[in-house]
């Protein structure tokens, strides 16, 4: 049954039925009640979640205790993937994903994914390619927005922007 | 006859079997750039991915009119053109050779074709690229969080209204 759910996810469309079954071997169903954290900001996010029903909120701490709502995702209409960066990277999650009601999901743990990579399984590398593409598109948009923000700030004639902008720019990698 | 590139010792190819390395070597062309030469010009085409095996490259972007900002200096071994591969073949920044640079080029179209055909060699290469992008995404997120925090602090002090673009930045968040 879980496998059928996986089939409905656009993210996994590129896999053959057989490859989808390979992922399901290492996957497990997960259920979250309202308020529970699926991914916690700052913690090493260790799994990819395919949300198959329910709603989640994505929040990020900006100043001290204040957190900002970044997005609301409704998985009832269409299953959605969160936490994909955690499969490839080592850094902690940059935002919290919290269940807004009861949420059903399929969890693909990083260990299962890494095992498939070390076994040289094509399904895992195909997933990597998709994740890399998603990340590259987001990075491009973010970089463009950051450049726009710098230009906006410059137009406002701020005086102490130099250091701030330099810091921003040093973080830029190719 | 172009020389067959040696892919030993290049991190990007570590996971590839000898056969897969041969498969990649077949589609790679050696390339060299003199110090100061453009590998990509900002806004120009990015149709080739270069695996840089020796030398150093510099990355510049025109952030404000008339001023070129130095974004990074990167030493070999490294790869450039990976964003062009995975998004649009247009350079978001200029990449120039800082020293004489030796590289292997792979045509973007050819690599995309291999990926479409599920070439395991090509997918393994992109897996390594994906790992570096995941880390870069994490750093970019932090930078953007820094911008937003700063804007909000200023907002708390005065009657500026930075909400418009802080909201825009937030809208592009990757998590």
SS3 of residue B114 by DSSP: helix
Which residue among A144, A151, A172 sits closest to B72, beta carbon to beta carbon?
A: A172
User: Which candidate from A60, A132, A151 shows the least CB-CB separation from B130?
Assistant: A132
Q: What is the mean pLDDT of each run of 10 residues along chain B (175 residues)?
A: 65 90 94 97 96 94 81 90 94 95 96 94 94 85 74 61 54 46
pLDDT at A75 over 50: yes
Q: CA of A72: which chain B residue's CA is closest? A: B171
Residue of higher predicted confidence among A60 and B164: A60
Q: Which of residues 128-147 of B touch A (CB under 8 A)?
A: 129-131, 133-147
Q: What is the pLDDT of residue B138?
A: 83
Asked if B85 and B49 count as a contact pair (C-beta separation under 8 A), the reply is yes
**CB-CB under 8 Å, B138 with A60:** no
In this structure, what token pair is assigned to residue B112?
Answer: 């995309």
Q: What kind of fold does domain A2-120 have according to CATH? A: Jelly Rolls (2.60.120)
How large a percentage of chain A has pLDDT more than 70?
79
Angle, CA A152 vertex, CA A168 and CA B72 arms, to 5°: 25
pLDDT score of A6 more than 80: no
Strand duo B67-75 + B38-40: pairing: unpaired
**pLDDT for residue A173 is more than 50:** no
What pLDDT is attached to residue A68? 78
The pLDDT, as a whole number, for residue B125 is 95
Q: Kindly give the residue spans of alpha helices, DSSP state H, lying in chain A.
A: 2-7, 17-26, 84-88, 110-118, 122-155, 161-170
HEC string for chain B: CCCCCCCCCCHHHCCCCHHHHHHHHHCEEEEEECCCCEEECCCCECCEEEEEEECEEEEEEEEECCEEEEEEEEECCEEECHHHHHCCCECCCEEEECCCEEEEEEEHHHHHHHHHCCCHHHHHHHHHHHHHHHHHHHHHHHHHHHHHHHHHHHHHHCCCCCHHHHHHHHHCCCC
**For chain A, percent helix, then strand, then coil, each to nearest 5?**
45, 25, 30
pLDDT value at position B1?
44
Task: Please say if the pLDDT value at position A3 is more than 70.
Answer: no
Of A92, A136, A144, nearest to B133 by CB-CB distance is A136
User: Where are the CATH 2.60.120.10 domain residues in chain B?
Assistant: 11-136
Average pLDDT for A36-53: 89
On average, the pLDDT of chain A sits at 82
A88, B131: Cβ pair inside 8 Å? yes
Enter the tokens of residue A100. 């807004």
**Per-residue confidence at A5, pLDDT binned at 50, 70, 90?**
low
With an 8 Å Cβ cutoff, are A128 and B174 in contact?
no
Q: What is the model's pTM?
A: 0.82
Under 8 Å between Cβ of B165 and B144: no
Closest CA to B44 of B96, B94, B87, B86: B94
Tell me if the bond preceding B77 is cis, omega within 30° of 0.
yes
Which two structure tokens, joined as six digits, stand for A101? 């009601």
CATH no. of B11-136:
2.60.120.10
**CA–CA distance from A83 to each of A43, A93, A116, A144, B47 (Å)?**
12, 8, 18, 23, 31
């Amino acid at each position: 049954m879980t496998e059928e759910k996986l089939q409905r996810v656009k993210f996994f469309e590129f896999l053959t039925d057989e490859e989808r079954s390979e992922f399901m071997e290492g996957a497990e169903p997960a259920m979250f009640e309202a308020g529970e954290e699926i991914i916690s900001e700052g913690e090493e996010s260790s799994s990819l979640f395919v949300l198959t029903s329910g709603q989640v909120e994505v929040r990020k701490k900006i100043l001290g205790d204040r957190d900002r709502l970044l997005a609301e995702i409704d998985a009832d209409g269409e299953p959605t993937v969160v936490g994909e960066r955690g499969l490839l990277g080592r850094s902690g999650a940059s935002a919290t994903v919290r269940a807004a009601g009861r949420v059903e999901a399929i969890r693909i743990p990083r260990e299962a994914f890494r095992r498939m990579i070390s076994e040289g399984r094509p399904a895992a590398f195909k997933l990597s390619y998709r994740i890399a593409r998603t990340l590259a598109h987001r990075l491009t948009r973010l970089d463009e927005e950051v450049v726009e923000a710098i230009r906006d700030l410059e137009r406002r004639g701020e005086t102490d922007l130099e250091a701030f902008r330099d810091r921003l720019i040093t973080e830029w990698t190719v | 006859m172009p020389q067959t590139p040696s892919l030993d010792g290049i991190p990007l190819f570590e996971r590839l079997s000898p056969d897969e390395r041969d498969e990649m070597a077949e589609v790679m062309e050696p390339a060299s750039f003199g110090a100061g030469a453009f590998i990509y010009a900002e806004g120009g085409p990015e149709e080739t991915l270069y695996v840089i095996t020796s030398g150093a490259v510099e990355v510049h972007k025109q952030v404000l009119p008339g001023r070129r900002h130095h974004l990074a200096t990167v030493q070999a071994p490294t790869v450039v053109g990976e964003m062009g591969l995975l998004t649009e073949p247009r350079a978001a920044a200029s990449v120039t050779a800082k020293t004489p640079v030796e590289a292997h080029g792979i045509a973007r179209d050819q690599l995309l074709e291999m990926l479409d055909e599920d070439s395991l060699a090509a997918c393994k290469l992109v897996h390594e690229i994906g790992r570096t992008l995941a880390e870069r995404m994490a750093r970019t997120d932090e930078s953007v969080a820094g911008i937003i925090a700063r804007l909000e602090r200023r907002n708390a002090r005065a009657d500026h209204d930075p909400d418009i673009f802080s909201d825009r930045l937030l809208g592009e968040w990757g998590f």
